Amino acid sequence: MYFIESGEIKIMKIIGDVDVNIAYLSAGDFFGEMALITGSRRVVSSLAITDCNLHVMDKEAFMSKHCKQQGLCEQNPCNACSSP
């Protein structure tokens, strides 16, 4: 998952031979969360349209932080939640 500190990102999907613009993101926005949540392959692409500063959160950090915040670990323990 990527958090945009500065810059602009274009989110697009290729349909046939055409790039379809889905969204334009900028500082304060994030993307890539669906791959962390579902574990599926990405269905869209991202392209930096200006110089960007991004922060990255990997799956382990995401699951640990958000499972614990939402109380999901008690209902459905996962490996990320069981680490100290």
Find the CATH number of the domain harbouring 21. Answer: 2.60.120.10
Domain count, the chain: 1
Residue 61 in domain: yes
Mean pLDDT by 10 residues, the chain (84 residues): 96 93 96 82 91 91 68 52 47
Q: Which domain holds residue 61?
A: 2-77
Res 80: pLDDT = 46
Residue 83 in domain: no
The CA distances from residue 84 to 61, 63, 64, 79, 81, in Å, are 12, 13, 9, 11, 8
CB 14 within 8 A of CB 20: yes
Res 42: pLDDT = 79
Res 26: pLDDT = 98
The pTM of the full predicted model, rounded to 2 decimals, is 0.70
Residue 82 in domain: no
Indicate left, alpha or beta for 25 from its phi (over 0: left) and psi (-120 to 50: alpha): beta
